[in-house]
Amino acid sequence: MPVNTDAQNTDAKPAAGGRSIDPLLDPWASLRRFTPARIGLGRTGDAPPLGAVLDFQLAHARARDAVHAPLDLEALRADLAGLPLCRVRSQAPDRATYLRRPDLGRRLHPDCRAELPPGMWDAVFVLADGLSATAVQRHAASLLRATLRRLPGWRIAPVVIATQARVALGDEIGEALGASLCAVLIGERPGLSVADSLGVYLTHAPRRGRRDAERNCISNIHRSGGLPPEQAAEKLAWLMTEALRLRLTGTGLKDDQPALPSPAPPVIEG
C-alpha cells in the first residue's frame, strides 16, 4: 500500500503536526496518533514530502524561539501574586554569553546576594529561565502553587526568580538563604516535539560544588503529552518530604512513591 505524498486530497484529515493524512492511503496514520515522533513520513522523489519539511522547520523555529525568548517578569509576578518574591540573576550579562558560557549561569551575581534573606527555611523554590523561558512562563506558577498546597506547615523561603540561570545556581541561592532544600524549576532544552518542557531539580543542603548525582530530577513537565503540573506537584511534594526526613537527595533517595491513580476513563453516553 503506497504512502501518501503531497498530492491534493479533499478527504484528507489534518494530523497533529498539520500534515494532511488520508487514512485509506497512509498505513502509518493510525500509529502517528500515539506518538509525537516523526514516523512514516513518506517521500516525494528523493526528498521528504513538503508538509513534513514545513512541520520540521516550524518545530525548529519554535525551539529556537524558546531558547532565546526572555522571561516576562511582570507576567510571572502576576501569576505568583500573593507570594513573597526575590529577583536575582547569574553572572551571565546577556543571553548570548549565557549560551556560550554555562559556567557563568551557575554563579550568582555579587549584587544579588543582599536580595536573599537568610533564615531557618525548610525549602526554597527557584524559578529559573534555563533554556526555555516559555516553559517557566506556562507551567512554573501552577506547579509551584500545587506543590505548596501539599506542604502545609513548611517554612518556605521567598520564591526566587532567577534569570540567565543554570541548575547549579540554585546551590548558591539555597546556601545564601540557609535552606534545607532547594527546588529549581527550570526550562529544559527544547526538542523538536516539545518546546515548553519544565524540569525540577531537588537538592538537599544546597551549597556550591554540589554534583548532579546529589540531586533528584523530575522532567518532561508540560500539558501536551508530558507529565501534567498537578501530577508533578504530587511527586515533588513526596520527594521533598522524604528528602527532609532522610536528610539526603540524589542517588540515595529512591522514587518509591506509590503509583498515582490513572485518570478515570471518559463516560460515553448513548
The beta-strand segments (E) located in the chain are 13-14, 20-21, 85-89, 123-128, 159-163, 181-187, 198-204, 215-221
Measured between alpha carbons, how far is residue 236 from residues 4, 108, 247 in Å?
Answer: 44, 25, 15
Phi, psi of 124 (to 5 degrees): -130, 140
167 marked as part of a ligand binding site: yes
Angle, CA of 221, 222 and 227, to the nearest 5°: 55
DSSP code, position 185:
E
217 marked as part of a ligand binding site: yes
SS3 content of the chain, % helix, strand, coil (to 5): 35, 15, 50
Quick one: cell of 136?
A: 517557566
Gap between the Cα atoms of 237 and 239, Å rounded: 5
For CA atoms 242, 233, 249, 171, the dihedral sign is negative
172 marked as part of a ligand binding site: no
Gap between the Cα atoms of 114 and 112, Å rounded: 5
Chain-centre distance of CA 268, in angstroms? Answer: 34
3-state secondary structure at position 186: strand
Q: Residues marked as binding for adenosylcob(III)alamin?
A: 167, 188, 217
Q: Residues marked as binding?
A: 167, 188, 217
